[in-house]
Copies of this chain bind each other. A is one copy, B any other.
């Protein structure tokens, strides 16, 4: 379970799309990239992955861009992260330990992974949006 910059970019983009979800209008890559300070050509690759996985759909041509295919509260962070970090995560898990010591270590590794997945599964995109709004509320209070 990697928590790389890649996953973070993907999540930020999806949060941005969640914020515009109710409008129903597509959001351009360059808009998302500018808002979240992500290199746009890199974000393009990530959105392509997310599109192939069915999280977003694209609308080509003028006034085009990306849209969420599901409601923000129906996409968990685990969905996104495991999509971005690749399906070969399974292959890594299959490597069977050769020694009794290896098996003991493997069990702990597995527990750590399960814990991480449990946390990521607990939150949806909507939760992050709400958290963001709450944070901005706090910032506003400080401003006053």
Tell me the interface secondary structure of chain A in the complex: helix
> Which of the four size classes fits the interface of chain A?
35 or more
- Alpha-carbon distance between A131 and B102 when the two chains are bound, in angstroms: 11
Chain B positions within 8 Å of A36 at CB level: 99, 101-102
Contact with B along A86-98 (1 / 0, CB 8 A): 0000000000001
Query: Using a CB–CB distance below 8 Å, which chain A residues touch chain B?
Result: 1, 3, 8, 11-12, 15-16, 35-37, 77, 98-105, 107-109, 111-113, 115-116, 118-120, 123, 128-129, 131-132, 135-136, 139
Q: A98-B37, A99-B36 are in contact. Are A128 and B104 (CB under 8 A)?
A: yes
Chain B positions within 8 Å of A132 at CB level: 100-101, 103-104
